[in-house]
Homo-oligomer: A and B are copies of this chain.
Amino acid sequence: MDPRTEISSLGEFGLIGHLTENNETKNASTVLSVGDDAAVIDHFGRQTVISTDMLVEGIHFDLMYTPLKHLGYKSVVVNLSDIYAMNATPTQILLSIAISNKFSVEALDEFYEGVYAACDKYQVDLVGGDTTTSQRGFVISVTAIGEVAPDSYVKRNGAQVNDLICISGDLGGAFLGLTILEREKKIFEETGAQPDLEDRAYIIGRMLKPEARKDVIEYFAAQDIMPTSMLDISDGLSSEMLHICKQSQVGCVLYEDKLPINEESKDFAYKLELDPTACALSGGEDYELLFTVKQADYEKINANNGLSIIGYITEAAEGKTIITRGGNKHELVAQGWNHLK
């Protein structure tokens, strides 16, 4: 019998590493290939950034509580977020969908309403795609293209010892929004009771209608800040922080009391007897930007209320740690969403 290795035994990043380990670059225009938020392509001296994401019904979204308009919006935004995470400006997208015949044209119109709303908000053009049937379920693939000034793109591997670790917005909200939606779905299925989500608008919005941090990239440009490394938080802070440490060959110290967590997130976490810090560290889909800057940029970062300094970069030998409110040191462990498990 042929050997059989389960995909789950490698994990998502292990699998990507395995599948691309012999991937060689042939074109001089390929500036940056697999392994970051986006690829970078040289176009006659200027640079194009390109990234793609696939969203699968039942894995990435549940149509029971995801309005199609929100889904269209989010499908675009999560891809734009990858472009911003390269310090680039998105300009075009391509959108492919596979749909079963359970969807009507009216349903698709709703989905596209969200797609176009995101294109308008972020000033990107929908320039192509593919529309096909599926036997079951809804699959969405978006490719986003962006521009960046020559060699101004920011990778994951540039963090240096003593750099400040910073984050935009707040964390854990999307995970808690998902938790409440899943809970209410279960209650509805069991009892038929309509959910009352009124006082959870913030966290539900974080899940269903995330925004990409265009404003942060614009702030960098206006303030002449060049992050030394950056990525967007799709899998949870711990997982993303470990990516930066691994690729930059450094360690880190994070401070629990510096993690930005919204009051509504905290409140709902306590209600569920969840630790808000754990939600911030491991909850995915916040689409905030995690980045490192030189200490010299401290004042500029501090002057922006939407940005938080949550720690600093250390030598690799010092490990990847988080210091709790009580002063204890813990190893940072990735427990991010692993869709392949």
Binding site for B on A (CB under 8 A): 2-10, 12, 15-16, 18-20, 22-23, 25-27, 29-30, 32-34, 38-39, 41, 43-46, 48, 50-54, 56-60, 91-92, 94, 96-99, 101, 103-106, 108-109, 112, 116, 119-120, 123-137, 139, 141, 143, 145, 147, 339-340
Contacts and interface: CB of A to CB of B under 8 A. Distances in A.
- Give the 3 A-B residue pairs with the shortest CB-CB distance, closest first: A39-B127, A43-B43, A141-B141
A116 B22 CA distance: 9
Given A124-B27, A339-B133, A106 B54 contact: no
Given A18-B105, A39-B127, 8 more contacts: A6-B105, A8-B101, A12-B132, A27-B92, A33-B127, A50-B94, A134-B137, A134-B139
16 contacts: A6-B104, A7-B101, A18-B105, A26-B119, A26-B124, A33-B127, A33-B128, A34-B128, A34-B129, A38-B128, A53-B96, A54-B132, A56-B132, A56-B135, A98-B139, A136-B137
Interface of A: prevailing SS? mixed
| Copies of this protein, total | 2
A52 B143 contact: yes
A34 B127 contact: yes
A23 B116 contact: yes
Contact of A52 (B116, B124, B141, B339): B141
Nearest to A51: B128
B106 A3 contact: yes
A145 B29 CA distance: 11
Contacts of A57: 135
